[in-house]
Amino acid sequence: MNIKILHLDSNNPILMQQLQELGFENHEDFTSSKETIESKIQDYHGIVIRSRFKIDKTFLDKATNLQFIARVGAGLESIDCDYALSKNIELIAAPEGNRNAVAEHTLGMILSLFNNLNRADREIRSGHWNRENNRGHELDGKTIGIIGYGNMGKWFAKKLRGFDVEVLCYDIKENVGDANAKQVSLAELQLKTDVLSLHLPWTPETDKMVNSAYINAFAKPFWIINTSRGKNIVTTDLVTALQSGKILGAGLDVLEYEKLSFETLFQDKNTPGAFQYLLVADNVLLSPHIAGWTFESHERLAQVIVDKIKVLYSR
């Protein structure tokens, strides 16, 4: 086997180690520009990437010997999938690798928001002991609505089994509901939901999906958690709903202002007013796109990629 793989991002060492043991030839380039990578990509049969840059038509046209693209993560939105598939390039992702981490992070955000944990912590550190102002809510008795019932949504529903809650899910695919969540129409989910959790890819259909009209279609005020993609929510409309009380609180692991690489955030003199509001709101919990970013998932993601490449070349 003389399959040459170019690694474009650093990953857990087991990925490269195990591929080498399987007989693959590994090369790495974590710093060169996209143009420099394009000048040599014809020499490689596979690439392993996280989210460093977009794999577009120009890149794919120069990758004349490419057999697979492996993304060490769940989504493939940074890849022109249709064009890659038209060139018979296999696409590999690893949603199984970080679904447990995302599910636990989602649950943690809900419990923290419900019990004002971050605000209470800040107040005590500032010398304030406010019990009544930090009276919390209990998850039991609530209805949880999950939008997107794939790997992430299903694993989050599993984490809810220890709570006395009703779990509903909505997905564009039919018959994906299971013992942990009842699949319903979007209208029914919007009628009953107390806590909404997004587990969606970023596609033309989901881009800016959660806007004012979408939010106002919910019958009750609700909490919202987003551990999927930031651009699925219109931040200005989210802020309007937070200010009006339509949304009771928000846990955001992802933000509309993130770069495509997910490694940086839009943060300069022109910081949007909506983002400034999120930074100071007591009922908003923010984290830097780390829901799937655990020590365990770091290794598991790499292992899933190795296993799938191995299967690809054993057919």
Q: What residues are annotated to the active site? A: 229, 258, 289
Dist. CA 179–CA 231, nearest whole Å: 30
Q: Residue 183 in contact with residue 171, Cβ under 8 Å? A: yes
141: left (phi > 0), else alpha (psi -120 to 50), else beta? left
Q: Where are the alpha helices (DSSP H) in the chain?
A: 13-21, 34-40, 57-62, 81-86, 95-114, 117-125, 151-159, 186-192, 212-216, 235-244, 273-280, 295-312
Question: What tokens does 288 get?
Answer: 């830097």
Dist. CA 11–CA 299, nearest whole Å: 8
Q: Residue 247 in contact with residue 241, Cβ under 8 Å? A: yes
Dist. CA 151–CA 174, nearest whole Å: 15
Q: Which 8-state DSSP code applies to residue 210?
A: B
